[in-house]
Structure 1
Amino acid sequence: MNQKTNSIIEDTQIQRPPAGGQRFAFVQSCWHREIVDQGREAFLSEMERRGVDAGRIDLFEVPGAFELPLHAKLLARTGRYSAIVACGFVVNGGIYRHEFVAEAVINGLMTVQLEMEVPVISAVLTPRDFHDHEEHRKFFHEHFRVKGTEAAAACVDTTGGVHIIRELAKAA
Structure 2
Amino acid sequence: MTEALKPARIAFIKARWHAEIVDQAYDGFVAAAQTLLPAAEIEAFDVPGAFEMPLLAKKLAQTGRYDAIVAAALVVDGGIYRHDFVAGAVVTGLMNVGLETGVPCFSVSLTPHNFQPVDSLIAYYTAHFVKKGAEAAEAVRQVLALDAQLAALAST
TM-score normalised by L of structure 1:
0.85
Q: 1:107 aligns with which of 92, 95, 102?
A: 92
Q: 1:98 aligns with which of 83, 87, 90?
A: 83
Letter matched to residue 118 of structure 1: V
Letter matched to residue 17 of structure 2: W
Summarize the alignment of residues 17-56 of structure 1 with structure 2, pairs less than 5 Å apart.
Answer: 17-18=4-5, 21-53=7-39, 56=41
Give how far 1:140 is off. 0.5
**Ranges of 4+ aligned residues in structure 1 off by more than 3 Å:** none
Distance 1:159 1:146, change over 3 A: same
Give how far 1:50 is off. 2.4
Is the Cα contact below 8 Å between 2:37 and 2:141 reproduced in 1? no
CA distance in 2, matches of 1:106, 1:51: 24
Letter matched to residue 72 of structure 1: A
Letter matched to residue 114 of structure 1: L
Give how far 1:49 is off. 2.1
What does residue 16 of structure 1 align with?
A: 3
Is the Cα contact below 8 Å between 1:16 and 1:161 reproduced in 2? no
What does residue 112 of structure 2 align with?
A: 127
**Pair 1:162 & 2:134 matched:** no
Letter matched to residue 97 of structure 2: V
SS at match of 1:94: coil
What does residue 80 of structure 1 align with?
A: 65
Is the Cα contact below 8 Å between 2:8 and 2:37 reproduced in 1? no
Gaps of 5+ in 2: none
What are the superposed Cα offsets for residues 14-42 of structure 1, whole Å, 9 maximum, x if unpaired?
Answer: x53425x1211111111100001111111
Measured on the aligned residues, the alpha-carbon RMSD in Å equals: 1.5
Whose radius of gyration is greater, 1 or 2? Answer: 1
Is the Cα contact below 8 Å between 2:5 and 2:148 reproduced in 1? no
Give how far 1:151 is off. 0.6
